[in-house]
Structure 1
Amino acid sequence: MRKIFIWRWVFFLVGMMVLSLGITMTIKGQRLGIGPWDVLHVGLYENFGLSIGTWGIITGFIIIVTTAAVLKQWPQLGTWLNMLLIGIFIDVFNWLLPDIHTLVGQTIIFVFGVLVMAYGVGIYVSPNVGAGPRDSLMLILVEKLGISVKIVRTGIEVIVAVLGWLLGGPVGIGTVVIALLIGQIVHYALPQCRRLLLKIVGEEDEDVLLRK
């Protein structure tokens, strides 16, 4: 059990690093546009300073507090770590990765960034340690409104993208690509990552990943 516990957290932490790397890669290719939430974070950064990662942490904290109040339930540790570490990792990678000025270069890093993001989600979600703040908000709205995940997720991302655009965040074809394709890629990435985790811990039953 200890081996399973350790590897679940390893996957969770590595997944957040990979996801943050993918997000930063798309930001470096922002001439094409970036993901809806990142449009908001960049818009806030351009208007009020701080950093893109810091705004990710702030918006994540607001969402966590709001969802906790609605559910009257304290979030899992993984949810808090997701809020904090992804913001930190984004700032670190944003500092490490060079700025790209050509359209070809930005297109290449953007495309690879989308793939990296999707597999980052697959890696960090596979051990079932805790959903991110934005995923928790989506699930609450699905439950409260009684409508599909697809409609709720799309609605949230449209609202967030519009707010970010009004603040000057980069909206473009890439924003649409991320909104439409990430879920499709995660659909394949998540089971692959889950099978890899089970293989590493020497288990076949996915129920071991559902234990808190």
Structure 2
Amino acid sequence: MTRRTIQILIGLFLYGMGIALIVRGAIGVAPWDVLTQGIDNHTHLGFGLITVLMSGVVLLLWIPLRQKPGVGTVMNAFLVGPSADVGLWLIPADLDLWVRIIMFAVGLLVLAVATGLYIGAHFGPGPRDGLMTGLHNRTGWPIWVVRTGIEVIVLGVGWALGGNVGIGTVLFAVLVGPLCNWTIPFFAIKRPAVAASAASIATAAPVAADARHEAELEGTVVPGAATIDSPAN
């Protein structure tokens, strides 16, 4: 339990830092972060706070879907946003393009590792991942259809509000899935078969399904790999 707790805490902190690096790269961000930026453009509440508030809104959508949050779900909702704010405070903006491209690449790698760490700790899916799997379970629609629908809606609204959509958004969609397909099994903590069976069905299965999806269609929870929350997402 101690190792799992430390792993998820490190994973969620790094997830926020990965988001911050991608945001400071300023060549395009993930769909959920496009929405966060768009909302921030009009409310000026701050990226981290909006991320937390959005997680709360998404969790409310779990209720009619009869999804049950885990400890990791709550930790994800409250920790990723503040971690992203720390990263945005530490990392300067408006750097040269070549520096920003490197920052984006590093951010994507950090985010993929962070996803493997927090999902591999087996404490439950993130809010946005649970929304996807909940809709899948209630409607019977394929994971990739649900994920793509959510991402398109979120991206469209965020773009309309002024969020940063660019080549980085496309690269994120194409690359994060395959990267997470490697990091999730690499960092997964092996658990006793009896204790792990129920949790793995609730957590690992949705992640694997999402990962397979994005390998095909690449979106972000990514495309083909696991569901991330971009937080985030």
Q: TM-score range by the shorter chain?
A: 0.7 to 0.9
Q: Which runs of 4+ in 1 moved over 4 A?
A: 205-212
Is the contact between residue 157 and residue 179 of structure 1 (CA under 8 Å) also seen in structure 2? Answer: no
Determine the structure 1 residue equivalent to 2:87. Answer: 93
1:62 alignment partner AA: V
1:60 alignment partner AA: S
Question: What's the offset of the Cα at 1:142?
Answer: 1.2
SS at match of 1:99: coil
Q: Is the alpha carbon distance of 1:180 and 1:148 closer, same or farther for their aligned partners in structure 2, counting shifts above 3 Å?
A: farther
Cα deviation 1:172-202 (Å, max 9, x = unaligned): 11111112221111001111112xx44xxxx
1:163 aligns with 2:157: yes
Is the contact between residue 142 and residue 149 of structure 1 (CA under 8 Å) also seen in structure 2? Answer: yes
> 5+ residue gaps in structure 1?
none
Q: Is the alpha carbon distance of 1:25 and 1:133 closer, same or farther for their aligned partners in structure 2, counting shifts above 3 Å?
A: same
Following the alignment from structure 2 to structure 1, what is the Cα–Cα distance between the partners of residues 196 and 15? 20
SS at match of 1:50: coil
Q: Is the alpha carbon distance of 1:208 and 1:115 closer, same or farther for their aligned partners in structure 2, counting shifts above 3 Å?
A: farther
2:29 alignment partner AA: I
Cα deviation 1:65-107 (Å, max 9, x = unaligned): 2203430x54222211111110111111111112242111111
1:41 aligns with 2:36: yes
SS at match of 2:130: helix
2:57 maps to which of 55, 58, 62: 62
Question: What's the offset of the Cα at 1:163?
Answer: 0.6
Given the two structures, how large is their TM-score scaled by the length of structure 1?
A: 0.88
Is the contact between residue 65 and residue 135 of structure 2 (CA under 8 Å) also seen in structure 1? Answer: no
Question: What's the offset of the Cα at 1:34?
Answer: 0.5
Rg larger in 1 or in 2?
1
Say how many residue pairs are matched.
Answer: 199
Following the alignment from structure 2 to structure 1, what is the Cα–Cα distance between the partners of residues 50 and 195? 35
Q: CA RMSD in A?
A: 1.7
1:126 maps to which of 114, 120, 136: 120
Following the alignment from structure 1 to structure 2, what is the Cα–Cα distance between the partners of residues 112 and 18? 12
Following the alignment from structure 1 to structure 2, what is the Cα–Cα distance between the partners of residues 16 and 154? 24
Given the two structures, how large is their TM-score scaled by the length of structure 2?
A: 0.80
1:148 aligns with 2:146: no
Determine the structure 1 residue equivalent to 2:22. Answer: 26
Following the alignment from structure 1 to structure 2, what is the Cα–Cα distance between the partners of residues 107 and 70? 39
Is the contact between residue 83 and residue 133 of structure 1 (CA under 8 Å) also seen in structure 2? Answer: yes
Cα deviation 1:113-143 (Å, max 9, x = unaligned): 1111111100000011021100000001111
